[in-house]
Amino acid sequence: MIRMRTDFFAESLGMGTSMVVLMPQQAAGIGMGGADGAGAEDGGEGAAGGDAGGEVVAPRGVPVLYLLHGLSDDCTIWERRTSIERYAAERGIAVVMPEVRRSFYTDEAVGEKYWTFVSEELPQLLARTFRISTAREDTFVAGLSMGGFGAFKLALNHSERFAAAASLSGALDPVALDLSQHAGQLAQRIWGGQDIAGTSDDLMGLLGSADPTALPQLFLDCGTEDHLVTQNQAFIDLAEERGIDLTSRLRPGTHAWEFWDRGIQDVLDWLPVRGR
């Protein structure tokens, strides 16, 4: 894999920010078990500099997973707590891990426009800069806790862009959360005391009104000892009531990286990546 920590200016935020990008690479290092699956399909030798006749072949963009962090984390956390680079290399998929601070993937009432950033500016920036596919069938999103909320928020608000979305221990009903323990009046800063019912942050409302045939494939994973299990069960129940195709499991576990490390491997196996 090619690993890049990228620092750039985001117009929607009015400031510099960062992301980590992992890109499949045909060559493999020691212990990686051979080249990943992206080489031949995505350009192979042509991508590395041309065929025997010297012709340069334009590579096809690779499938991409937007992988979102949680409330206390940053764009490096998935690499520091899991082996996401190795997992992605084995499956020939690019991974984009953006930085959104403690925003709940919203345009904050008092702060920055992180929803505009992650849903509009970031995909456009990536399409201009990296060799990733922009086709719906090649585009996926997943996240943990606050990032699980962000993943389903993207999937439910922009179902035309994503083939699949996964939430690990997702904070799917932020209104039900006790955010008073977090410094800086977090809920007030993000939502300004406004009711989120009927907005892009109302995942239950969006799920309840969605066309089941238009939604991406959805995957939900949560621990039975997790403090968020009740709202995850409510999401499962509503999906079942609406006839929405949701792959879900409630398994033993807490709000911890041991749970998410296993979960993200299962998500990667579940994703409908082309050529697999």
pLDDT at 55: 56
Is residue 43 within 8 A of residue 22, CB to CB? The reply is no
Euclidean distance between CA atoms 89 and 87, whole angstroms? 6
Is residue 57 within 8 A of residue 51, CB to CB? The reply is yes
User: Could you write out the DSSP letters of every residue in 7-62?
Assistant: EEEETTTTEEEEEEEEE--SS--TTS-S--TTTTTTTHHHHHT--TT-PPPPPPPB
Q: Where are the domains of the chain?
A: 2-42+58-270
Cβ of 229: how many Cβ atoms within 10 Å? Answer: 17
CATH number assigned to the domain with residue range 2-42+58-270, chosen from the 4 options 3.40.50.1820, 3.30.360.10, 3.10.270.10, 1.10.443.10: 3.40.50.1820
Euclidean distance between CA atoms 65 and 63, whole angstroms? 7
pLDDT at 104: 96
Question: In tens digits, what is the pLDDT along the chain, a chain of 276 residues?
Answer: 999 999 999 999 999 999 999 999 876 677 765 444 444 344 433 333 444 445 544 467 999 999 999 999 999 999 999 999 999 999 999 999 999 999 999 999 999 999 999 999 999 999 999 999 999 999 999 999 999 999 999 999 999 999 999 999 999 998 888 777 665 688 889 999 889 999 999 999 999 999 999 999 999 999 999 999 999 999 999 999 999 999 999 999 999 999 999 999 999 999 999 876
User: Could you write out the DSSP letters of every residue in 170-225?
Assistant: ----GGGS--TTSTTTHHHHHHTT---TTSTT-HHHHHHHS-TTTSPEEEEEEETT
φ, ψ for residue 164, nearest 5 deg: -160, 150
Q: Are strands 164-168 and 217-223 parallel, antiparallel or unpaired?
A: parallel
Residue 152 CA, chain-centre distance (Å), reads 9
